[in-house]
Amino acid sequence: MKVRLVLLLVAACAAALAQRSAGYVYAAPGAVVDGGPAVATLQFGVGGEGVVGKGFTLGADIGAVGPREELIYSLGVFSPGVYYHFVRGTRARFDPFVSGGYTLMFRGDHASFAHAGAGFNYWFRPRLALRVEVRDQFRPDYGRVAHFAGVRIGVSFR
């Protein structure tokens, strides 16, 4: 069932990207917290979004997250989701958005998470922007909630 859902979301994202779209790359310092002491992490990846309606886009990104001191223990991360951009059109320089969706973490086995975030693109050129997003990938785990949170800093392009 989960595999079918992921395939459906990927197909929907691909259809959305066929319309006006934007891609992005990012790196994100962050932390994982699951009831014990926080562990510093580093996240990095690539993604894209495509417009589906007034302010709404579908998108997905793929990357990795791991302990900053030992990236060899990184997990793969695939995150399809929905974005809402508060400013519409391609002429606005400041483009704030919120996002949410599903996250699949994998390395040998897999785990399902949800994610939520907020950020902005600052388009300093018509096709190139600074992208900043705060994102939390979370899931209830044995009575507590595990969080993989980070501040994504990167560039968007269209």
What is the per-residue pLDDT across 136-151, written as a single tens digit (0 to 9) for each? 999 977 677 889 999 9
d(CA 115, CA 51): 20
- H-assigned helices in the chain: 2-17
- What the chain holds in terms of domains, given with CATH numbers, is 2-157 (2.40.160.20)
Q: What pTM was computed for the model?
A: 0.83
Q: Which phi-psi region, left, alpha or beta, contains residue 96 (left: φ > 0; alpha: ψ -120 to 50)?
A: beta
- Cβ–Cβ under 8 Å, residues 55 and 63: no
Predicted local distance difference test score (pLDDT) of residue 62? 98
pLDDT tens profile 40-95: 999 999 999 999 999 999 999 999 999 999 989 999 999 999 999 998 777 789 99
Nearest C-alpha neighbor of 12 from the set 63, 115, 81? 81
| Residue 142 confidence (pLDDT) | 67
- β-pair type (94-107, 75-85): antiparallel
Instruction: Report the phi/psi class of residue 89: left, alpha or beta, with left for phi > 0 and alpha for psi in -120 to 50.
Output: left
- Check: CB of residue 74 under 8 Å from CB of residue 107: yes
Question: Has residue 34 got a pLDDT over 50?
Answer: yes
Q: Are 158 and 23 in contact (CB under 8 A)?
A: yes
Q: What are phi and psi of 39, to 5 degrees?
A: -115, 125
Distance CA 31, CA 86 (A): 28
